[in-house]
Amino acid sequence: MNTYFNEITEKPVNVSESKILYKIPAGAMCGNGDLGVVFDNSDKDLIIHISKCDFWKFVPGAHNDGGIKTVGNIVIKNIDLSQYNIKQYFDKGLLECRFGDTEIEFFVAPENRICFQINAADTDRFPCVSIELPDTCNSINSQYVQDSVSCCSRKFEGENITLDSAVAVCCKEIEADSTDGRKTSRYCIAVVTNFDDEKYSEKAFESVNSCNYEKDKTATEEKWQKFFSASKVTLEDKEIEKFYNSSLYHLAGCMGNTEFPPGLFGNFITDDFFPWAGDYHMNYNYEAPYYCIFSANHPELFDGYMVPINDMAENAAKFASFFGCRGYAFPVSFGPKTLDVYSQPDCKEHGILFLGQKSHAAYAAVIPIMHWYSTYDKDYARENYYDFIFNVAAFWEDYLVKKNGKYIIKNDAAHEIPYYRGKKFRYITHKGQIEAVNAINSLGLVKLLFQGIYDISKELELNTDKLAVWQEISDNLSDFPTFIKHGKKCFRYSKRGIRWRDDNTVGLQHIYPASQIGFSSGEKLLKIAKNTYFINDRRLDDNGSNSYLPAGARIGVDPDFIIEGIKQNIKEFAMPNGLFRHHGGGIEHLTTVPATINEMLMQSYEGIIRLFPCWDKKSNASFENLRADGAFLVSAELKNEKVNSLKIKSLKGRKCTVECDSIKSVIRKSDNQRIDFTAEGNTVTFETKENETYILI
């Protein structure tokens, strides 16, 4: 079975019983990291929605009519949609479509060009192509023809617009040929925004006229082959393996514009009215799509993550000052270029939607800390995220309260307080959340924050006078609160305030992604973690399956339980195109399968590379070039219940510790020489050199 392939045999369904389903598009999709398309249809015509990561309407306020907007639609008429088949080739970035006797080849090229080829009977009913722009949200639209090129533009400017945005779309038939009663026509559509080029209309016109279909197709295939060559996972369960690959494909399809990283719904926007304006939600939604990218050896997908976060520096300092603190604090959400979607005049917290939480910036720091440990790229850290993490730590230095030798967190809700605004808000109703002490998710995030800033600063030799302060806070941060539920000791959502909720997975996010509990934590803590994990089954949680399932791997629950959870998610929520129709956001659930599988196959966050730590040893599996903390690329095979073919490439020359039974030799690949190592129990430790590969036998 080719697990880089998917076939869609029915028209996408976005309406059920006359109700519009939650806006996760169901049709075939492809993208190049910036430009994305989604297949859809009207009663008669094929509709292909175009969206782009940087096309937003910049209107301030709490989700007025601002937010990410669709670019427009490709409309192809004279198509027989009664027979419907689309083949998706992830490792080629290619769609092959058949509608009746019409065949369409389709791809999105790296140069932000949409290219497609139509082959059909050469009659007066040959499919015709046009571009349609939506007339919603008061956009200013124009359409004209220039030298046989259909050109159009859509822009937002004027009163209340804080930043002008515009996009140009140029469509051209570039080739046509007729043979044996059939005709083949090729089209190119170039899409350029004012953020790509000030002369966006001219640039789009130049781009469409410079299109070479075959070269663009080759470049597209080479891009995706290179992407999937970075790492590989092979499983006996080919359905899970397929969703592993499709999830990475769709994530990469919307993580390529380094100035405009994807919001809640990436660049798969089908109209102007996506929930929450498609913004950047900082209390897990923005971060979740990045959970899996480092272990899957795609750190390049992180390159845009910090841009909107760093853009918010001035505002973040102001927000921190509201709480009498230095450093940075974040509201619950914002948009690119500091787009204000958080101001709410009647909000009880300074007119800003913090929703009772202080942890948003600490959550945002999780992903760059992951980047640090998986790459140890000093120059990148210094340039892109050291200042941010330093300032988030500064906020928590001031905000934490020391009592009886322990640092505690006050007035910080574990969950959003959704109605922390308006005349009808009653403080007494939410008093427990508002005045919460030691919310467990914040404790985990802040613990990781101080671990991260300590290690990064020490390696970069920056602010070393703060090391003792950060270490002291990390050592003396309050323990995770616990209580007795169903007769078992479990983690409590906060020391004082809310004890438990049956929805979401906030009570487990100190395990994952905050990385504070694992196999090295000791049996006592692991037992509490497992008790908490099984209080109720959150494998199908609309907001939390992407952290619940990997957390299970981190604490070593029954791997069959986790695999069953993955399969349930596929059965209940997966759509024909490989997306998941949950209600807690959009692209965040694409991380569920790859993040969980990677944690089951290999873990390294505790300084020890563990192979197949949460895997049914009777199920054969292998992986190539999964990325481990310490900047190692690890390849291994589990066959007949034994680990074989163990290779580790050291990218930064750091000391390597591996947990694996019966390692007798460590061989340096470059000269086939055995090197010294130390063994303790079932772990071995050895020194490495940069860009050297080691074979463990």
**5-233 and 279-479 share one CATH topology?**
no
- Residue 265 pLDDT: 95
Q: Six-digit token pair at 538?
A: 């959150």
Q: Six-digit token pair at 294?
A: 């480092």
> How many C-alpha atoms does 455 have within 13 Å on its Cβ side?
20
Cis peptide before 25 (omega within 30 of 0): no
Nearest 10 degrees: CA dihedral of 686, 691, 695, 696? 30
Query: DSSP letters along 64-105, please?
Result: SS-EEEEEEEEEEES--TTSEEEEEETTTTEEEEEETTEEEE
In the numeric block, the tokens 């001035």 are attached to 314
Q: Residue 114 is which amino acid? A: I
Provide CB contacts within 8 A for 444, sequence distance 6+: 480, 509, 510, 511, 514, 516
CA-based Rg of the chain, rounded to a whole angstrom? 26
Query: Which among 308, 480, 349, 463 is positioned nearest to 397, based on CA atoms?
Result: 463
Secondary structure class of 179 (helix, strand, coil)? strand
- Residue 596 pLDDT: 98
Provide CB contacts within 8 A for 426, sequence distance 6+: none
Mean residue pLDDT across the chain: 95
Secondary structure class of 408 (helix, strand, coil)? strand
Query: Which among 278, 270, 265 is positioned nearest to 57, based on CA atoms?
Result: 278
Instruction: Say whether pLDDT at 17 is over 60.
Output: no
For the chain, what are the domain ranges? 5-233, 279-479, 502-600, 621-696
Looking at the domain covering 279-479, what would its CATH class be?
mainly alpha
Q: What pTM value is reported for the model?
A: 0.96
Secondary structure class of 628 (helix, strand, coil)? strand
| Tens of pLDDT, residues 314-336 | 999 999 999 999 999 999 999 99
- Residue 280 pLDDT: 97
- Residue 15 pLDDT: 58
How many Å apart are CA 640 and CA 646, to the nearest integer?
A: 15
| Tens of pLDDT, residues 351-377 | 999 999 999 999 999 999 999 999 999
How many Å apart are CA 600 and CA 551, to the nearest integer?
A: 10
DSSP code of residue 347: B
Strand order through the sheet with 692-696: 232-235, 621-628, 632-639, 642-650, 692-696, 666-668, 673-674
- Residue 22 pLDDT: 61
Q: How many residues would you count in the chain?
A: 697
How many Å apart are CA 536 and CA 150, to the nearest integer?
A: 56
CB atoms within 10 A of CB 548: 25
Secondary structure class of 451 (helix, strand, coil)? helix
In the numeric block, the tokens 């199920």 are attached to 619
> What pLDDT band is residue 419 in, cutting at 50, 70 and 90?
low
Q: Between helices 592-601 and 559-573, what is the axis angle to 10°? A: 170
- Residue 662 pLDDT: 81
Instruction: Say whether pLDDT at 20 is over 60.
Output: no
| Tens of pLDDT, residues 437-454 | 999 999 999 999 999 999
> How many C-alpha atoms does 211 have within 13 Å on its Cβ side?
31
| Tens of pLDDT, residues 464-476 | 999 999 999 999 9
> What pLDDT band is residue 582 in, cutting at 50, 70 and 90?
confident
Instruction: Tell me how many helices (H) and strands (E) the chain has.
Output: 15, 36
Secondary structure class of 166 (helix, strand, coil)? strand
- Residue 504 pLDDT: 85
- Residue 43 pLDDT: 86
In the numeric block, the tokens 């670019």 are attached to 71
Q: What percent of the chain has pLDDT over 90?
A: 89
Instruction: Say whether pLDDT at 297 is over 70.
Output: yes
Query: DSSP letters along 457-517, please?
Result: HHHHT-SGGGHHHHHHHHHHBPPPPEEEETTEEEE-SEEES----SSSSGGGTTTTTT---
How many Å apart are CA 132 and CA 270, to the nearest integer?
A: 13
How many Å apart are CA 630 and CA 426, to the nearest integer?
A: 49
Q: Six-digit token pair at 429?
A: 């109703």
Q: From the options 3.40.1260.10, 3.40.50.150, 3.80.30.20, 2.70.98.50, give the CATH code of 5-233.
A: 2.70.98.50
CATH architecture of 621-696: Sandwich (2.60)
